[in-house]
Structure 1
Amino acid sequence: MISKVVVRTPFIMNMWERHPKTWRILIDLGIFLKYKTLNINKIPNKIILSSSNVLYVNSEENRGRALLISDGITQKRLSYFWSTSVKEFSPNLIIDVGVNYGECLFSTTYPVGAIIYGIEANHHLIQYIIKSREVHPNKAQITIINAFASDKTDEQKEFYIDKHWSGTSSASYIPAHNMIEKVPVRTITIDSIFKKGSTNGTVLFKVDVEGYEAFVLKGMSRLLESCKSAIGFIEFNSEYIEKSGMIVAAFFSFLQKYFTIYMYVADDILVRVDSIHYEDLHGILGTDNIHTDLLVVTDEENIEVFDFIIQDHHKKM
């Protein structure tokens, strides 16, 4: 299995960008070992997830093939967070920003009456997302939007589709290889989807947009202020955040305004970091570039439903 965390480590990322054909060979090897063939007509285009829900993928694209190899799970910590949150909180509103193929969005079944949104900028993936939605138990509750989530609505944004690995498509980062398709994508804010004052229940969200997380969160600030409670999962990559034009420390301060923040140091170990300065994160992780995931909650006690070890940040420094 090739996870996103592995792909994003500095050395591996450099190899991934500069030697994409080598990576394709490794993924093909994984496909061959699993299906005993490389004949595209004999390789499935869907995965039966552990929840019995179905996930459709492009079996010719590298990330789609990686999902086939890994039975639909490339981010274990996100899968655990998402399924546990749905079960424990029965959220009224679910928002997945950066759907990709939908391994998160379609991984579980949602409460009757929940409103569910998936937002994805890569137009090539929409057909697979729609197919997965049409066979999902909550299909009537799920709305899919092909747009770029940001802090402004109805603007045109240049979006770089990575044809080597769809999960690294971005508006802030252009890989070194030349397998890129530049397309204009309209922007949308999360707040623009809802009428003012129309959402006051529990919100579950995930934001994974390769460096534009700060703009997405800014564009849903009204929702965060009006909802009863919110719980979210955010990818945090300081290098990509800087490339998006955002000051990383300012984004971290924004998060501190709205949330109690927990930072992953391992899949089952979190450190609470909402009361410290951004610069202290370097000492906690021992790296110059901060690349991890954040679990954020508006109600501190909500963290107790997860089976995590919560460490004091002073013990890590």
Structure 2
Amino acid sequence: MKLKAAIRKPFLMRIWENYPKTWKFLIDLGILLKYKTLNVKKLPDKVILPCSNILFVNSEENRGRALLISNGITQKRLTYFWLKAVKEFKPDLVVDVGVNYGECIFSTIYPLNTKIYGIEANSHLLKYINRSKDVHPNKLQIKIINAIASDMDDEEKIFFIDKHWSGTSSAAYIPSHNFIEKVPIKSIAIDTLLSGDWSYEAVLFKVDVEGFEAFVLKGMTNLFKNSVSLLGFIEFNSEYIEKLGICVEDFLIFLKTHFTIYVYKKDDTLVKAVNLNYIDLQNLFGTNYIHTDFILVKDESIIEKLELTIQSL
């Protein structure tokens, strides 16, 4: 297997971690080109999403500014998946772990019977999230929880808020730059949050927590076992997982116990990963470092309805 050290990290990640001033310059340039000003008071504090929902953002923070530049869509792969999943899957439970500003959870309108939970550990984002919630058509169905989703309840964790780019705030990963605020916060397991109500016909979830995914998913096992059909989207970052002392192979075995795994390649096509192991992933991407997204499926009948491009491994 040929290792490609030069691409161990995605290009943009390397910039905002190692060159925050350069990243800020690029964001400012985008703002200037779009709005013809860098005066924060003249910048909008919200984005109108394609579905006409409103997403409130902090126009002084880089990820908020990136959402302004991109009309509220910075993760096209996730947004496409989420919109199709809600439309075709019609979930009766939605769980978004790692809400950030709410680019995912507020991107669509849900069935009237859907219970919707959003978990976000960064308290600085709550006022924007709650403003977006308050004007959302499903506002009475949405609950926002300020906590770290984990496999244990009421543990005090240290959450590292990345003041330079809120999307890389994490309980697991400390960026190399100095724009960090350390905040203590309590943990909660999703199974506990649901108060024993673990049996659903259709569960849709997203977990994007910068390497902490293994703990979050372990705290959802009762939900996985008791629900009829599940469809999930998670970020997979092998470097962050290993930094937490988790064996990547063990994490993959856990996932295979509950789901069929579909892996996004760089061109956004999906590979159905039957009997997937870590070496297979390294060979697939041609590198020892893997940063991609997985779709997790229990009851594969739904996957065809999502109109995704799927290849054989």
> Contact conserved, 1:16 with 1:23, CA < 8 A, in 2?
yes
- Which is worse superposed, 61-70 or 274-283? 274-283
Could you say which residue in structure 1 is the equivalent of 2:253?
A: 253
Question: CA 1:35–1:268 in structure 2 vs 1: closer, same or farther (change >3 Å)?
Answer: same
Counterpart-to-counterpart distance in 2, 1:79 and 1:139 = 20
Counterparts of residues 191-206 of structure 1 (less than 5 Å): 191-206=191-206
- Which is worse superposed, 216-225 or 10-19? 10-19
Counterparts of residues 258-297 of structure 1 (less than 5 Å): 258-266=258-266, 268-297=268-297
Q: Secondary structure at the match of 2:271?
A: strand
CA RMSD of aligned residues (A): 1.4
Structure 1 position 207, deviation (Å) = 0.2
Residue type matched to 1:190 in 2? I
Q: Secondary structure at the match of 1:279?
A: helix
Could you say which residue in structure 2 is the equivalent of 1:15?
A: 15
Q: Secondary structure at the match of 1:288?
A: coil
Question: CA 1:231–1:25 in structure 2 vs 1: closer, same or farther (change >3 Å)?
Answer: same
1:307 and 2:304 aligned: no
> Contact conserved, 2:8 with 2:289, CA < 8 A, in 1?
no
Residue type matched to 2:71 in 1? D
Could you say which residue in structure 1 is the equivalent of 2:154?
A: 154
Could you say which residue in structure 2 is the equivalent of 1:240?
A: 240
Counterparts of residues 1-317 of structure 1 (less than 5 Å): 9-266=9-266, 268-313=268-313
Counterpart-to-counterpart distance in 2, 1:175 and 1:239 = 13
Structure 1 position 305, deviation (Å) = 1.0
Structure 1 position 10, deviation (Å) = 4.5
Counterpart-to-counterpart distance in 2, 1:195 and 1:140 = 19
Q: Could you give the per-residue CA deviations for residues 186-228 of structure 1, whole angstroms, max 9, x where no partner exists?
A: 1000000123355322100000000000000000000010011
Q: Could you give the per-residue CA deviations for residues 63-104 of structure 1, whole angstroms, max 9, x where no partner exists?
A: 000000000001101001100000001100000000000000
> Contact conserved, 1:259 with 1:274, CA < 8 A, in 2?
no
Question: CA 1:133–1:45 in structure 2 vs 1: closer, same or farther (change >3 Å)?
Answer: same
Structure 1 position 113, deviation (Å) = 1.4
Unaligned runs of 5+ in 2: 1-6
Could you say which residue in structure 2 is the equivalent of 1:3?
A: none
The two structures have a TM-score, normalised by structure 1, of 0.94
> Contact conserved, 1:55 with 1:102, CA < 8 A, in 2?
yes
> Contact conserved, 1:77 with 1:267, CA < 8 A, in 2?
no
> Contact conserved, 1:268 with 1:307, CA < 8 A, in 2?
no
Could you say which residue in structure 1 is the equivalent of 2:3?
A: none
Question: CA 1:71–1:10 in structure 2 vs 1: closer, same or farther (change >3 Å)?
Answer: closer
Q: Could you give the per-residue CA deviations for residues 116-151 of structure 1, whole angstroms, max 9, x where no partner exists?
A: 000000000011000000000000000000000000
Counterpart-to-counterpart distance in 2, 1:155 and 1:67 = 33
- Which is worse superposed, 171-180 or 11-20? 11-20
Unaligned runs of 5+ in 1: 1-6
Q: Comparing both chains, which one has the higher relative contact order based on Cα–Cα distances under 8 Å and sequence gaps of 6 or more?
A: 2
Question: CA 1:112–1:285 in structure 2 vs 1: closer, same or farther (change >3 Å)?
Answer: same
Counterpart-to-counterpart distance in 1, 2:38 and 2:194 = 46
> Contact conserved, 1:261 with 1:273, CA < 8 A, in 2?
yes
Question: CA 1:289–1:198 in structure 2 vs 1: closer, same or farther (change >3 Å)?
Answer: closer
Seq. identity, %: 62
Q: Secondary structure at the match of 2:132?
A: helix
The two structures have a TM-score, normalised by structure 2, of 0.95
> Contact conserved, 1:56 with 1:128, CA < 8 A, in 2?
yes
